[in-house]
Amino acid sequence: MKRILLITSVLPWPLRRNGGAQRTALVKRALQKWGEVDILAIGGPELRESGSAFDQQLGEHQVLDCIIREPHPPAPPWYLPGPIGRLWRTIRQYEQNYEPDPAIATQLATRLKARSYDLIVSRYLQPALQAGVAAQTSIPKLLDFDDIDWSTFQANLAAKPWKGTSGRIASAQVLSRIKRSCDRAMPLFQRVFVTSDEDRAMLCSPATVLPNIPFSDRADAGIDPLPPATDSQELLFVGDLQFPPNRDGLDRFLTRVWPVVRGQMPAARLRIIGRGLTPERAQRWKAIDGTDVIGFADDLVDCYRRCAFTVVPIYSGGGTKIKILESLAFARTVVTTDHAMRGYGELSEPTPSVAVTVTDDDFAQACIRLLQTPFLRDAMATTGRRIVTERFSFGRFSSVIDEAVAEVLK
């Protein structure tokens, strides 16, 4: 049996079950076929929670260490005054994310001396580079790039441009530096995984598509479909509300789309599920007619069971949106944006299984139509469920990892 080190900035257990955590858990599950998997977690303060329960989970999930990366002030000329100094400090703030952190790299080197590993796998590029994997030339390495860093940055800029002439100059420079850092790092890895053909086409080096798939606690059984909720007039939003694209997208939906839906379908209700809900935001959203603001929910199955369909109003951010696949796996169709459908072309051709919208009015009208025609939304959900079962299974996910591991360890 092999020894594998999994480096990640997102921990894998259920209480933190967002798309990133789910994928970490799935990667670990696939790797365990090959041997013992240890985790080295590297990230910001949000990575670590307080209390003995968290420490117990670290042990249960074979987390060797949970390292909180400390900010490092830029080296000279950080003291440069005026706009040039601010531009330089902004660029360096981003560039440092792709450079070895001396303290973390020392910890990794010490661990590798104490225990030999046959393979290093990193979830995301930044933690691998911060840990100094470039110096570990004798150990084969795989990278789950997942969200392409510069693509995510570019999408967020499109949604929220940096202000003024200086902001445009700074953001252009940062975007260029991020892409250059990523391009230079690709040769460090024997195999690079991305989540879609669109992302693969963006890379200057070869990459393999490792699709995002719906998460299930049962290894190969997947998610059981739910019976149609023909009489339901409830829409469901599920998402990590600490993640700005989810939070901002839901705000836009509630402001621009939901009033139109309620105007024509007064019995409609929107249930909002997601961790990270602040009291201020909960109070503001609860004041909107027709909303049930729940926050974190232990039982997502019941939430999906009672809804007519789900909404994924995401307009920014990178990668693929796993909640679309999760909803279809439960046999609930989705109304979403053209941005959120990136990487999911098979869900809209030749027979649509989701409603893809461009404008706010498109979004509202799609919701109204599905509320008015249960047979249509159920037919779309059936098609979507079939596609997810065939093309986004754990078996397919695991086979992609198996092929890569077999190649580098042969």
pLDDT the model gives residue 331 = 97
Size (the chain), residues: 410
pLDDT tier at 76 (50, 70, 90 boundaries)? low
pLDDT of residue 404: 97
Domain-wise residue ranges, the chain: 2-218+394-409, 234-391
**What is the rounded radius of gyration, in angstroms, for the C-alpha atoms of the chain?**
22
Q: CA-CA distance, 165 to 229, in Å (whole number)? A: 52
Most confident of 155-164, 206-215, 284-293: 284-293
Residue of 246, 129, 235 lying closest to 189 (CA atoms): 129
The pLDDT tens digits of the residues spanning 309-360 come to 999 999 988 778 899 999 999 999 999 999 999 888 888 777 789 999 999 9
**pLDDT of the residue at 135:** 94
Please, what CATH class does the domain formed by 2-218+394-409 belong to? alpha beta
234-391 — its CATH code? 3.40.50.2000
pTM: 0.89
Can you list the pairs that 215-222 forms with residues at least 24 positions away whose Cβ atoms lie under 8 Å? 215/17, 215/22, 215/25, 215/26, 215/322, 215/326, 216/394, 217/14, 219/29, 219/394, 220/393, 220/394, 220/395, 222/329, 222/389, 222/393, 222/394
- Note the pLDDT tens digit of each residue in 254-276: 999 999 999 999 999 999 999 88
How many Å apart are CA 91 and CA 333, to the nearest integer? 42
How buried is residue 156: exposed, middle or buried, by Cβ count under 10 Å (0-12/13-18/19+)?
Answer: middle
Residue with more model confidence, 360 or 20 = 360
Task: For the beta carbon of residue 297, count every other beta carbon within 10 angstroms.
Answer: 15
- Of the candidates 372, 239, 363, which has an alpha carbon nearest to the alpha carbon of residue 293? 239
Query: In the predicted model, what is the mean pLDDT of the chain?
Result: 91
CATH topology match: 2-218+394-409 vs 234-391? yes
Give me the residues paired with residue 310 across strands. Answer: 236, 334
CA distance 136 to 358: 46
Number of other residues whose CB lies within 10 A of the CB of residue 1: 9
pLDDT at 57: 85
- pLDDT at residue 20, rounded to an integer: 86
Q: Which two tokens stand for residue 370?
A: 């599905």
**Dist. CA 322–CA 208, nearest whole Å:** 18
108-129 burial code (b ≥16 CB/10 A, e <16): beebbeeeebbbbbbbbbbbbb
Percent of the chain with pLDDT over 70: 97
Whether the per-residue pLDDT at 78 is higher than 80: the answer is no
What gap in Å lies between CA 193 and CA 397, rounded to an integer? 11
H/E stretch holding 63: strand 63-68
The mean per-residue pLDDT over the stretch 376-393 comes to 94
Which of 78-87, 194-203, 212-221, 348-357 reaches the highest mean pLDDT? Answer: 194-203
